[in-house]
């Protein structure tokens, strides 16, 4: 029986969401195949708690546990941390150095995809269609009129390295830009300003097994709020319709674009790409390489709608990660 650590938590605003994702993963792993250790990676420590609530700290020297004088090492880590250090490449780099397989992208790809503007810059030469963007770092001179003229209104102001819509605002007027920038700077010192795209928003999950990229059915997102913000994502303020109510050719187009993104970026594990169909073309927004897996999340819905079983998908991912791990 293989020892599997389910990594959850993180140091960002998303840590509580990640704990929910980790709980779903742990509940759906095959206990006939795996000994499951939910491991919290939090600011106050890295640890596993048994059913009695006893805490056992992770030894960061080799990412092991010591329980009742017995040393436990892991055959694989299922990484479901949202934000730093598990989605931006830092934890991946540590596990790579320790030669421990983990299910998310490798350290470079994780750092790249977590940085929205760098990811977009890499994908554009590969003919992945996106909106228009401007970039601002904290301390830069800001001219709201130039932003409005170059990007147009309405537009989105986003923290560059964040998820779950933390630090995101939709701006309608020039005089609203500064407040939106302040909101984003509370989350990150880098900001991306993105043009508004009018159209149907869809999200597409995918994962790679061997040399085959399995793309799930797309989900249409209909937010009750002004956009797909935190409330819409996690507090029931949206309708998530799977499969999306789009033409078959549009489903094929967005699935093919998702597959191409996985190929170009050399992703592994389960990821979810977000798009807006604008003028009939899927425009790439961002990709989440450790997507939410809580009961409210999109990917579990897509797995079910695609005729798959979550437990079997997780087993496929873990076994594929171990099989193709480069030592």
Q: Any idea where the domains of the chain sit in the sequence?
A: 2-104, 112-129+198-323, 133-195
For residue 105, the model assigns a pLDDT of 95
pLDDT at position 225: 63
Provide the 10 A C-beta neighbour count for residue 114.
26
Q: Which residues have a Cβ under 8 Å from the Cβ of 247 and sit 6 or more positions away?
A: none
Q: Which two tokens stand for residue 226?
A: 């002004």
User: What pLDDT score does 226 carry?
Assistant: 66
Number of Cβ within 10 Å of residue 71's Cβ equals 10
Least confident of 12-26, 38-52, 217-231: 217-231
Cis preceding-peptide flag for 243 (omega within 30 of 0): yes
Label residue 252 by pLDDT band (50, 70, 90).
Answer: very high
pTM for the structure as a whole: 0.91
Q: For domain 133-195, is the CATH number 3.30.1490.20?
A: yes
Lowest mean per-residue pLDDT among 76-80, 169-173, 209-213, 236-240: 236-240
Domain 2-104 has CATH 3.40.50.20: yes
| pLDDT number for residue 232 | 46
Mean pLDDT for all residues in the chain: 93
Answer yes or no: same fold for 112-129+198-323 and 133-195. Answer: no
Can you read off the two tokens belonging to residue 62?
A: 């080799």
CB 92 within 8 A of CB 110: yes
Q: Which CATH number fits domain 112-129+198-323: 3.40.920.10, 3.30.470.20, 3.40.50.2020, 3.10.20.90?
A: 3.30.470.20
Contact 15, 42 (CB under 8 A): yes
Give residue-wise pLDDT tens across range 210-243.
999 999 999 999 977 665 445 445 455 678 999 9
- Are residues 63 and 95 in contact, defined by beta-carbon separation less than 8 angstroms? yes
Determine if residue 243 is left, alpha or beta; phi over 0 gives left, psi from -120 to 50 gives alpha, anything else beta: beta
Q: Are 101 and 269 in contact (CB under 8 A)?
A: no
């Amino acid at each position: 029986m293989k020892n599997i650590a389910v990594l959850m938590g993180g140091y960002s605003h998303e840590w509580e969401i990640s704990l929910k994702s980790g709980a779903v993963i742990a509940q759906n792993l095959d206990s006939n195949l795996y000994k499951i250790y939910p491991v919290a990676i939090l600011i106050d420590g890295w640890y596993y708690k048994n059913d009695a609530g006893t805490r056992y700290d992770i030894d960061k020297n080799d990412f092991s546990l010591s329980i009742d004088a017995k040393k436990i090492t892991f055959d694989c880590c299922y990484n479901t941390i949202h934000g730093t250090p598990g989605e931006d490449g830092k934890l991946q780099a540590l596990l790579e150095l320790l030669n421990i397989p983990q299910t998310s992208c490798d350290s470079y790809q994780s750092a790249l995809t977590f940085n929205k503007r760098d990811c977009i810059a890499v994908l554009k030469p590969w003919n992945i269609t996106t909106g228009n963007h401007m970039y601002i770092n904290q301390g830069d001179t800001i001219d709201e009129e130039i932003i409005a003229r170059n990007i147009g209104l309405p537009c989105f102001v986003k923290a560059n390295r964040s998820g779950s819509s933390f630090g995101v605002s939709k701006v309608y007027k020039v005089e609203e830009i500064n407040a939106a920038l302040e909101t984003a700077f509370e989350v990150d010192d880098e900001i991306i300003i993105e043009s508004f795209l009018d159209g149907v928003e869809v999200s597409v999950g995918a994962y790679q097994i061997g040399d085959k990229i399995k793309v799930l059915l797309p989900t249409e997102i209909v937010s009750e709020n002004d956009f797909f913000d935190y409330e819409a994502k996690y507090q029931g303020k949206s309708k998530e319709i799977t499969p999306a109510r789009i033409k078959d050719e549009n489903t094929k187009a967005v699935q093919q674009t998702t597959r191409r993104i996985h190929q170009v970026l050399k992703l592994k594990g389960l990821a979810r790409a977000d798009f807006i169909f604008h003028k009939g073309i899927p425009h790439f927004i961002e990709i989440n390489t450790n997507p939410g897996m809580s009961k409210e999340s999109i990917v579990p819905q897509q797995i079910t709608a695609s005729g798959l079983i979550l437990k079997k998908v997780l087993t496929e991912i873990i076994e594929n990660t171990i099989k193709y791990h480069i030592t």
